């Protein structure tokens, strides 16, 4: 017990002091009240008494905390982005999910590259290129795949390897890298465009730094056409180079000058500037890709190589099928 306050209050009572004076001596800024409104109780409620069972209570204004309400959860119709590119890498707590290679390292920098191969018996030969877009689908040229139907040939897709040079038999490929292809031309109709979505009989088991799906553009994608690369598998060897994308009107003008006559750019395509880039698509690069960075620095599939100039063998520009023109149909087909 605190003896001093008790003695003071007793002395003031004997001197005829009222309760308010007692409280002001004991607790400046307090008053004598029958009940202290919480939470302004001075010390423990009930001690000390000022007289007749009343209490010394604080009179200073107390701030009442504002009433808070929990906001309703905000819902959005925007679906999460499809996992693609390097974002499709399995996340680990100690490895950042970033691009592991410089884009100038052309040997193995594009893990969505597919080598399309023809097999007869146990031997194989390069046919063209393709671009992996899911664990079971890749995009390539229809004109290369369609003739295989009805022939005694098996179509293969090699994934997860840079070059197939020297790999002339199915047994020479590392385990899991050579996939049989289901040739079904009815899965996707690209109209007049020379494209097909091919399906792997056995899907890719797990994504890794060597095998990833390319990002398909959608209506919200904005690509930087000054930051693009063209890549293909000419003669089974991986090759790539930085390119400048031209719109169809510029392509028509350049081709008309090169050929000496009006050469309209094919509908649904664009071209790359061979003159300044010195990057030519060659035999085997058909079905390969033009990748551009978007606003989020993702590598996005801008186009599929249709035909090229191959170091002067053909004049004009490299012709690229514009994926952005049909991306919504592609996405709905690959991701129903």
Say whether pLDDT at 96 is over 50. Answer: no
Sketch the domain layout of the chain as residue ranges.
3-58, 106-334
Instruction: Name the pLDDT band for 62 (thresholds 50, 70, 90).
Output: very low
Greater confidence, 26 or 165? 165
Residue 101: phi, psi to the nearest 5? -125, 155
Q: What is the pLDDT of residue 295?
A: 86
Q: Mean per-residue pLDDT for 240-248?
A: 89
Say whether pLDDT at 73 is over 70. Answer: no
- What does the mean pLDDT of the chain come to? 77
Least confident segment among 7-11, 81-85, 106-110? 7-11
257: number of Cβ within 10 Å: 12
Question: Tokens 């009930």 correspond to what residue?
Answer: 46
CA dist., res. 333 & res. 197, Å (int): 8
200: number of Cβ within 10 Å: 20
| DSSP sequence for 164-225 | -TT--BGGGSPTT-EEEEE--TTS---TTS--EEEEESS--SS--SS--PPBPP-TT--EEE
Q: Where are the alpha helices (DSSP H) in the chain?
A: 3-14, 19-26, 142-145, 248-259, 274-277, 327-334
Q: What is the pLDDT of residue 156?
A: 94
CA dist., res. 91 & res. 97, Å (int): 7
Instruction: Name the pLDDT band for 38 (thresholds 50, 70, 90).
Output: low
CA dist., res. 169 & res. 124, Å (int): 6
Highest mean pLDDT among 1-5, 163-167, 214-218: 214-218
CA dist., res. 199 & res. 283, Å (int): 23
- Give 95's DSSP letter: B
Q: What is the pLDDT of residue 117?
A: 92
CA dist., res. 296 & res. 215, Å (int): 12
- Give 325's DSSP letter: G
Q: What is the pLDDT of residue 98?
A: 44
Q: Which fold has domain 106-334?
A: Thrombin, subunit H (2.40.10)
Q: Each residue of 251-270: pLDDT tens digit? A: 898 888 877 778 889 999 99
CA dist., res. 336 & res. 328, Å (int): 11
Q: What is the pLDDT of residue 268?
A: 92
Instruction: Name the pLDDT band for 81 (thresholds 50, 70, 90).
Output: very low
CA dist., res. 132 & res. 210, Å (int): 12
Query: Bridge-partner residues for 158, per DSSP?
Result: 115, 178
Say whether pLDDT at 135 is over 80. Answer: yes
76-79 contacts at long range (C-beta below 8 A, 24 or more positions apart): none
Q: What is the pLDDT of residue 312?
A: 59
Instruction: Name the pLDDT band for 289 (thresholds 50, 70, 90).
Output: very high
Q: What is the pLDDT of residue 183?
A: 78
Q: Mean per-residue pLDDT for 11-15?
A: 39
pTM: 0.70
* pLDDT > 70 fraction of the chain, expressed in percent and rounded: 72
């Amino acid at each position: 017990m605190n003896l001093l306050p008790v003695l003071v209050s007793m002395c003031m009572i004997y001197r005829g002091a009222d309760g308010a004076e007692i409280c002001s001596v004991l607790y400046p800024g307090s008053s004598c009240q029958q009940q202290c409104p919480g939470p302004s109780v001075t010390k423990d409620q009930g001690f000390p008494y000022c007289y007749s069972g009343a209490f010394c209570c604080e009179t200073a204004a107390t701030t009442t905390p504002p009433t808070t309400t929990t906001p309703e959860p905000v819902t959005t119709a925007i679906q999460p982005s499809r996992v693609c590119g390097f974002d499709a890498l399995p996340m680990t707590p100690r490895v950042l999910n970033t691009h592991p290679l410089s884009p100038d390292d052309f040997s193995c920098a594009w893990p969505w590259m597919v080598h399309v191969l023809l097999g007869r018996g146990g031997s194989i030969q390069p046919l063209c290129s393709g671009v992996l877009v899911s664990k079971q689908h890749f995009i390539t040229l229809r004109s290369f795949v369609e003739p295989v139907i009805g022939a005694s040939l098996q179509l293969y897709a090699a994934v997860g390897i840079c070059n197939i040079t020297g790999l002339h038999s199915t047994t020479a490929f590392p385990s899991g890298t050579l996939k049989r292809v289901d040739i079904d031309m009815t899965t996707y109709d690209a109209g007049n465009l020379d494209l097909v979505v091919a399906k792997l009989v056995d899907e890719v088991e797990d994504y890794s730094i060597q095998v990833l799906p390319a990002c398909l553009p959608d209506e919200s994608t904005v690509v930087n056409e000054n930051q693009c690369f063209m890549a293909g598998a000419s003669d089974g060897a991986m090759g790539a180079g930085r390119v400048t994308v031209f719109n169809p009107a510029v392509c028509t003008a350049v081709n008309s000058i090169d050929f000496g006559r009006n050469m309209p750019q094919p509908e649904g395509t664009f071209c790359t500037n061979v003159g300044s880039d010195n990057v030519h698509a060659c035999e085997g690069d058909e079905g390969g890709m033009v990748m551009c960075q978007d606003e989020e620095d993702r590598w996005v599939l801008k186009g599929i190589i249709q035909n090229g100039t191959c170091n002067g063998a053909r004049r004009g520009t490299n012709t690229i099928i514009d994926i952005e023109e049909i991306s919504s149909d592609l996405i709905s087909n690959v991701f129903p």
